[in-house]
Structure 1
Amino acid sequence: MDMHHERLGAGRPLLLIHGLGSTRRTWDPVLDGLAAHREVIALDLPGFGATPPLEGEVTVARLADAVSGFIDVHGLTGVDLLGSSVGARLVLELARRGVGGTAVALSPGGFWTPRQRRLFGASIGASVRLVRTLQPVLPALTRNPVTRTALLAQLSPRPWALDEGLVLRELRAWASSPGYDALLRALVHGPDQDGATRLRTPGDVVIGWGRQDRVVTPGQAERALQRFPDAELHWFDSCGHFPMWDRPAETVELVLSRTSGTG
C-alpha cells in the first residue's frame, strides 16, 4: 500500500517513521534542520495521520512490510532510515531484513522484560484513555505549562518547555488514530524484536536513547545492543522518550553525521 507522506529538501533521501499514536508531524522540531541537507520523506503509518489502517491483523511485521513496499513503490532502495519509538523498532526490523541504508533508531521498543512489557501496556493504555476523556479541554490544558507538564511527565523531563501546538497535535492524534489500539495490542502481546549483526544489515545501525526515558527505560538499551551487537549507542542527556522534542539540535547533528547527511 502507499502511505500519505511529505517530502522536503534536496539531497540523499532520508525516510522518517513516527511512533505509536503520532503522525509525520511529530518530526516538526527537526524537520527544517534535516531538510537543509537531505531530501526528507516523512510518512504517516497505516492507521495514523492521513493513511488508512491495514486490513486484518496489525503486527509489527506487517507494518514493516508496508514500509518496505512504500520504499519499493517510490524508488527509495537504499534510503537511510530514521525512526522514533515504534518507528525506531520498524527501522531496526527493516535493517535486519536488509532494507534501506543507515538506520537511526530513537528509543526503540521490543527489548523489554515480560514485566516491563506489562507495565508499558498498562501505563500507555491508561494514558490514552485519559487523553481521550480530556479531548474537550485539551487546548486549555496544553496551553498551560503546569497542566502540560502533568500530561507529558511520562514522555519528557521538561514538558513545560515543549511547544504547546506540538503537544496538542500529538495528544489529539493519540485519541483519534484508528490504528492506535490495534498497534498497542500488537506491541503488548506480540514478539520481541529480533536482532542482527553488521554483516546482515545494509548499513550502520545507530540507536539513540534518552537517559530519562520512562516509556522504554534506559536499561533496555543493553538488550538492544545484545541483539544488534555492532550498533552504536548514543545517549541523550536531559531527554525523555522523544529526542527530537527534548534535544532537537543534537538529534539533527546525530542523524546528519551518522548518515553522511551533507550530500
Structure 2
Amino acid sequence: MNYVPGMTLNHVRRGSGDPLLLIHGLGAGWRSWAPILDELAERREVIAVDLPGFGETPPLTGEVSIATLTDSVADFIREQGLDGVSTVGQSMGARMVLELARRGVGGDTVALDPGGFWSDREVFVFGATLRPSIALVRALRPRLPALLGSTVGRTLLLAQLSARPWALSAETVLPDVRGLVDSPSTGAALDALVKGPKQQGAPAGTVPGRVTIGWGRRDLVALPRQAARATALFPDAVLHWFERCGHFPQWDAPQEAVRLILDSTS
C-alpha cells in the first residue's frame, strides 16, 4: 500500500497541553526524536509523525519532492484538526516546517539545521558525500549494533553528523542510522534535496507565527554559513546557535534543544 492524500500519517501522541508537531529528517521517522520526546511531552502534547516512506507510513504513489512531502504534512494537520499548531523540524523536516510557514500553515515554527540553503557547489558535495556514506552503512547493516556500540565505530561512522559521536550512546543513534538505510524513500528524498529547487523564502510579516532557526556551529551537512542565507530568506526568523553541535541537536545538545523548542513555541 502507498500513501495517498487523505491517508493519515503514522504518528505517536504523548503528553498534554498545547500541541507540538515534530517532523523528522532522513532516518528513523518519529523515533528520530526519541532523545527529547519524553521531556517535551512533560510540558506539551507532542505529535510526532512518520513521513511517507519512513517509519511505518507507506511511500507516496507519485513524485517524491519537498513539496509533496510537505503536502502530506499539511493534509495531516487538516485531518487532525491541528490548525495553528506549532511545528518543529530537523534537517529535511526543518526545511519542511519552514515551507509550511511560507505557505501560512501552522503557528510558531522551530527549524533545526534545515536543508535547502546550499549553494550549487555545497549541494553537490552534500550529495557526493552522503550517498557513499549511506551505501557503506547499508553494507555494514548486520554489524551496526556492534559498530555503534563502540566509541571508535561511532566516531568513524557518524563524524559527518555529530560534533561528538564518541559521546553518544548506541541507543540514541541506532534508530536513525538504521532508518537511513532501511526507509524505502531515503533515496528519493535525497534526490529531492540534491536535485530539486532550493527553499523559497517568506517576506517579512507573512509567516503565521514566530520562526526560530537553530543551527549547529559544527554542522558538516548543512554548513553554518548557510544560516545567513536562511535568515535572509526568512527575515522574521530568530537565529539560535548550538555550540559544539553537529547536524542533530537532539543528539549533541538535547537539553538545549528542549529549552529552545519550549521557549520558542510557548
Smaller-chain TM-score bracket: over 0.9
- In the TM superposition, residue 163 of structure 1 has moved relative to its aligned partner by 1.8
Aligned residue identity for 1:180: T
Confirm or deny: 8 A CA contact 1:6 1:41 kept in the other structure: yes
2:73 alignment partner in structure 1: 67
Write out per-residue CA displacement over residues 41-85 of structure 1, whole angstroms, 9 at most, x where no aligned residue.
Answer: 001000000000001110100011100000000010000000000
Which secondary structure state, in structure 1, belongs to the residue aligned with residue 132 of structure 2?
helix
2:213 alignment partner in structure 1: 207
1:193 alignment partner in structure 2: 199
Aligned residue identity for 1:109: G
Of 82, 93, 98 in structure 2, the residue corresponding to residue 87 of structure 1 is: 93
Write out per-residue CA displacement over residues 233-252 of structure 1, whole angstroms, 9 at most, x where no aligned residue.
Answer: 00000100011111010011
- In the TM superposition, residue 197 of structure 1 has moved relative to its aligned partner by 2.6
Confirm or deny: 8 A CA contact 2:28 2:178 kept in the other structure: no
- In the TM superposition, residue 22 of structure 1 has moved relative to its aligned partner by 2.9
Confirm or deny: 8 A CA contact 2:24 2:30 kept in the other structure: yes
- In the TM superposition, residue 11 of structure 1 has moved relative to its aligned partner by 0.2
TM-score by length of 2: 0.96
**Count of residue correspondences:** 260
1:28 alignment partner in structure 2: 34
2:190 alignment partner in structure 1: 184
**Structure 2 residue 58 is the aligned partner of structure 1 residue 52:** yes
Q: Where does structure 1 lack aligned partners over 5 or more consecutive residues?
A: none
Rounded Cα–Cα distance in structure 2 between residues aligned with 1:124 and 1:15: 27
Aligned residue identity for 2:259: E
Aligned residue identity for 1:226: A
Of 143, 147, 157 in structure 1, the residue corresponding to residue 149 of structure 2 is: 143
Write out per-residue CA displacement over residues 3-24 of structure 1, whole angstroms, 9 at most, x where no aligned residue.
Answer: 1000000000000000012311
Aligned residue identity for 1:94: L
Write out per-residue CA displacement over residues 108-129 of structure 1, whole angstroms, 9 at most, x where no aligned residue.
Answer: 0111100001001111111100
Write out per-residue CA displacement over residues 199-236 of structure 1, whole angstroms, 9 at most, x where no aligned residue.
Answer: 21100100000000000000000100110011000000
Write out per-residue CA displacement over residues 94-143 of structure 1, whole angstroms, 9 at most, x where no aligned residue.
Answer: 00000000000000011110000100111111110001000111111011
Write out per-residue CA displacement over residues 138-180 of structure 1, whole angstroms, 9 at most, x where no aligned residue.
Answer: 1110111111111100011111111202222211111110000
Q: Where does structure 2 lack aligned partners over 5 or more consecutive residues?
A: 1-6
Which secondary structure state, in structure 2, belongs to the residue aligned with residue 6 of structure 1?
strand
Write out per-residue CA displacement over residues 20-50 of structure 1, whole angstroms, 9 at most, x where no aligned residue.
Answer: 1231111111111111110000010000000
1:236 alignment partner in structure 2: 242
Rounded Cα–Cα distance in structure 1 between residues aligned with 2:46 and 2:224: 28
Of 209, 215, 230 in structure 2, the residue corresponding to residue 224 of structure 1 is: 230
Aligned residue identity for 1:124: L
Of 117, 122, 136 in structure 2, the residue corresponding to residue 116 of structure 1 is: 122
Confirm or deny: 8 A CA contact 2:54 2:185 kept in the other structure: yes
Confirm or deny: 8 A CA contact 2:172 2:251 kept in the other structure: no
Rounded Cα–Cα distance in structure 2 between residues aligned with 1:254 and 1:57: 34
Task: Give the ranges of 4+ consecutive aligned residues of structure 1 lying more than 6 Å apart after TM superposition.
Answer: none
Aligned residue identity for 1:143: G
Aligned residue identity for 2:16: A
1:125 alignment partner in structure 2: 131
Of 242, 259, 262 in structure 2, the residue corresponding to residue 256 of structure 1 is: 262
1:100 alignment partner in structure 2: 106
Confirm or deny: 8 A CA contact 2:163 2:245 kept in the other structure: yes
Which secondary structure state, in structure 2, belongs to the residue aligned with residue 235 of structure 1?
strand
Confirm or deny: 8 A CA contact 1:198 1:204 kept in the other structure: no
Confirm or deny: 8 A CA contact 2:23 2:89 kept in the other structure: yes
